[in-house]
């Protein structure tokens, strides 16, 4: 690690491209392999506020602002559409960033990749492929990939390889690394629509449906709509993603409140069993990054934050020259970040999160509750914005209160079925 001067990054998504920009700035020879294949729709169009500083660091926030929708907060629709909770980022005590953006992911991804080019990383228009060297778990580029990156590495193998291949999980599959799955077995169906009603302008909307939940993300001229529903609840509507999306949307009584004039204008993307994390993310001369390391759930839009935060941490580890210790620190940090969001997501599904928020609204009207709120209001909301999700205290406090602070209220009433 002390001699790392060249890095191959497999995958040109946001986390891989952001890592490429950071390493190229530091003077390393960087090749970002870009196969040029991307799905028409990508989950992760609503950014948490903690992502904004990364956009600033990459020098692209002004550019992103031009093609995005300003996001002042989040709206949650509960109890069959009868109860609405709004969270405004500018009311969160101690928040460093009080806004964010809803973005077209194809343009955001392109902006980050271009930032990597400007920093000096070379984008190689090919799929990056690796193989074992025969020396334990060490990796090298295949002859074909090495030749494609000749202008970067001069025919020599790179010192370090990063798997940023997303859910293809190239290296994890190669070494059959241990994984951990979340408790849900949902399918996420995702399309763009016109004519979808919104409650708060610019807010990301989360609706608790009869089964599962949905998102509504306002974009320029359209709304991104996602349905996250147990797989068995979709089967009766047909076998294709389009049939299942349209059928479920037309039959759920909660979506009836906002779909009357809606029209789907794209195809439907479908993701299954996405709650998957790898328990080890580093090796002798490689590391996993972004979704290749782990993905928790589309709710709360944590995936892109975990990827960009991981890119920052991995860049520091590679540049530090501290070897195995630096990689272990990076791995520990990412696993902690993934585990934090898994706990938050679990409390969303089991109803404890929204029950706690309701208890907080009542307690705030008492003198003692007002004193506690000054403390809780500084730490717990900043877990959702991502500013406190990487630390220890905020996630611990939120988890503790979700488990112990519900008084006698039954969280099952607000659980996602």
The pLDDT score that the predictor gives to residue 367 is 62
The pLDDT score that the predictor gives to residue 256 is 94
- Close Cβ partners of 108 (under 8 Å, ≥ 6 residues apart): 14, 64, 68
Instruction: Measure Cα distances from 190 to 88, 128, 168, 193, 330 in Å.
Output: 25, 28, 19, 10, 32
In this structure, are residues 56 and 349 in contact, taking their beta carbons and an 8 Å threshold? Answer: no
Question: What CA–CA distance (Å, rounded) separates 146 from 129?
Answer: 9
Is residue 294 situated within a structural domain? yes
What's the average model confidence in pLDDT over 138-157? 97
**Domain finish residue from 272, 288, 321:** 272
Question: What CA–CA distance (Å, rounded) separates 231 from 221?
Answer: 30
**Domain finish residue from 239, 272, 305:** 272
Is residue 192 situated within a structural domain? yes
Q: Coil, helix or strand for 100?
A: strand
Number of domains, the chain: 3
Higher pLDDT, 416 or 370: 416
The pLDDT score that the predictor gives to residue 290 is 96
pLDDT at 331 over 60: yes
pLDDT at 140 over 90: yes
Q: For residue 141, list its beta bridge partners.
A: 130
Is residue 228 situated within a structural domain? yes
- Close Cβ partners of 117 (under 8 Å, ≥ 6 residues apart): 123
Mean pLDDT of all residues in the chain?
Answer: 93
Residue 201 domain boundaries: 186-272
In this structure, are residues 296 and 338 in contact, taking their beta carbons and an 8 Å threshold? Answer: yes
The pLDDT score that the predictor gives to residue 41 is 87
Please give the full DSSP string across 222-278, using - where no structure is assigned.
Answer: EEEEEEEEEGGGTGGG-SSHHHHHHHHHHH-TTGGGT-TT-EE-S--EEEES--EEE
DSSP designation for 320: H
Q: For residue 95, list its beta bridge partners.
A: none
DSSP designation for 173: H
**344 backbone φψ class: left, alpha, beta (φ>0; ψ -120 to 50):** alpha
Query: What is the pLDDT confidence band of residue 148, given thresholds at 50, 70 and 90?
Result: very high
Of 216, 257, 233, residue with least CA distance to 83: 257
Return the H-helix or E-strand segment holding 375: helix 367-379
pLDDT at 371 over 80: no
The pLDDT score that the predictor gives to residue 368 is 56
pLDDT at 359 over 90: no
In this structure, are 266 and 279 located in the same domain? no
The pLDDT score that the predictor gives to residue 1 is 57
CATH number of the domain that residue 335 is part of: 3.50.50.60
In this structure, the dihedral spanned by the alpha carbons of residues 142, 147, 151 and 154, taken in order and rounded to 10 degrees, is 70
Is residue 84 situated within a structural domain? no
In this structure, are 279 and 268 located in the same domain? no
Neighbours of 265 (CB within 10 A): 13
Of 146, 154, 151, 144, residue with least CA distance to 121: 151
In this structure, are 39 and 124 located in the same domain? yes
Question: What CA–CA distance (Å, rounded) separates 114 from 17?
Answer: 8
Neighbours of 389 (CB within 10 A): 24
Question: What CA–CA distance (Å, rounded) separates 187 from 185?
Answer: 7
Instruction: Measure Cα distances from 254 to 65, 209, 417 in Å.
Output: 32, 6, 14
In this structure, are 288 and 330 located in the same domain? yes
pLDDT at 348 over 90: yes
Query: What is the pLDDT confidence band of residue 363, given thresholds at 50, 70 and 90?
Result: low
What's the average model confidence in pLDDT over 89-95? 93
In this structure, are 132 and 50 located in the same domain? yes
In this structure, are 121 and 57 located in the same domain? yes
What's the average model confidence in pLDDT over 219-237? 94
Token pair belonging to 129: 């492929």
The pLDDT score that the predictor gives to residue 343 is 94
Give me the helices (H) in 231-271, please. Answer: 241-251
Of 273, 309, 304, 272, residue with least CA distance to 291: 304
In this structure, are 369 and 329 located in the same domain? no
In this structure, are residues 262 and 196 in contact, taking their beta carbons and an 8 Å threshold? Answer: yes
Higher pLDDT, 271 or 330: 330
Is residue 93 situated within a structural domain? no
pLDDT at 59 over 60: yes
**Domain finish residue from 295, 321, 342:** 342
In this structure, are 192 and 254 located in the same domain? yes
Q: Provide the angle, in degrees to the nearest 10, between the axes of the packed helices 367-379 and 352-363.
A: 140
Is residue 393 situated within a structural domain? yes
The pLDDT score that the predictor gives to residue 106 is 95
The pLDDT score that the predictor gives to residue 2 is 62
Is residue 77 situated within a structural domain? no
What's the average model confidence in pLDDT over 76-99? 92
Of 223, 225, 218, 220, residue with least CA distance to 203: 218
In this structure, are 263 and 298 located in the same domain? no
Of 29, 38, 31, 40, residue with least CA distance to 10: 31
CATH number of the domain that residue 221 is part of: 3.30.9.100
Query: What is the pLDDT confidence band of residue 182, given thresholds at 50, 70 and 90?
Result: confident
Is residue 82 situated within a structural domain? no
The pLDDT score that the predictor gives to residue 364 is 62
Higher pLDDT, 256 or 80: 256
Token pair belonging to 111: 């902006």
In this structure, are 236 and 142 located in the same domain? no
In this structure, are 14 and 115 located in the same domain? yes
What's the average model confidence in pLDDT over 34-63? 94
Query: What is the pLDDT confidence band of residue 230, given thresholds at 50, 70 and 90?
Result: very high
Question: What CA–CA distance (Å, rounded) separates 161 from 139?
Answer: 7
The pLDDT score that the predictor gives to residue 387 is 94
The pLDDT score that the predictor gives to residue 120 is 97
In this structure, are 268 and 309 located in the same domain? no
């Amino acid at each position: 690690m002390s001699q790392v001067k060249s890095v191959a990054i497999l995958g040109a998504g946001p986390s891989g491209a952001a890592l490429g920009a950071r390493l190229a700035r530091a003077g390393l020879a960087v090749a970002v392999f870009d196969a040029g294949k991307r799905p028409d729709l990508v989950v992760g169009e609503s950014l948490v506020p903690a992502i904004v500083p990364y956009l600033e660091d990459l020098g692209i926030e002004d550019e992103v602002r031009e093609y995005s929708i300003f996001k002042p907060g989040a709206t949650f629709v509960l109890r069959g559409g009868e109860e609405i909770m709004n969270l405004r980022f500018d009311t969160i005590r101690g928040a460093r960033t009080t806004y964010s953006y809803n973005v077209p992911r194809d343009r955001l991804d392109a902006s980050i990749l271009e930032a990597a080019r400007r920093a000096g990383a070379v984008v190689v228009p090919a799929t990056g492929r690796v193989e074992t060297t025969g020396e334990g778990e060490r990796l090298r580029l295949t002859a074909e990939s090495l030749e494609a990156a000749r202008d970067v590495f001069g025919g020599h193998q790179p010192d370090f390889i990063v798997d940023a291949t997303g859910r293809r999980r190239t290296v994890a599959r190669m070494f059959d690394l241990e994984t951990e799955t979340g408790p849900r077995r949902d399918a996420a169906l995702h399309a763009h629509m016109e004519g979808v009603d919104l409650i708060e302008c610019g807010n990301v909307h989360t609706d608790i449906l009869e089964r599962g939940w949905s998102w509504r993300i306002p974009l320029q001229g359209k709304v991104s709509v996602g349905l996250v529903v147990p797989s068995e609840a979709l089967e009766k509507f047909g076998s294709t993603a389009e049939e299942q999306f349209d059928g479920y949307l037309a039959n759920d009584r909660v979506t009836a409140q906002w779909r009357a004039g809606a029209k789907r204008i794209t195809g439907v993307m479908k993701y299954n069993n996405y709650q998957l994390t790898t328990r080890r993310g580093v090796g002798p001369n490689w590391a996993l990054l972004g979704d290749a390391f782990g993905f928790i759930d589309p709710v709360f839009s944590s995936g892109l934050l975990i990827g960009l935060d991981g890119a920052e941490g991995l860049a520091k580890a590679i540049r530090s020259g501290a070897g195995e210790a630096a990689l272990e620190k990076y791995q520990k940090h990412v696993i902690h970040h993934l585990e934090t969001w898994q706990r938050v997501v679990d409390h969303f599904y089991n109803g404890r999160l929204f029950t706690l928020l309701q208890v907080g609204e009542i307690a705030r009207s008492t003198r003692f509750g007002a004193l506690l709120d000054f403390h809780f209001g500084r730490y717990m909301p900043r877990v959702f914005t991502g500013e406190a999700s990487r630390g220890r205290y905020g996630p611990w406090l939120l988890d503790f209160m979700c488990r112990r602070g519900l008084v006698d209220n039954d969280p099952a009433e607000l659980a996602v079925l």
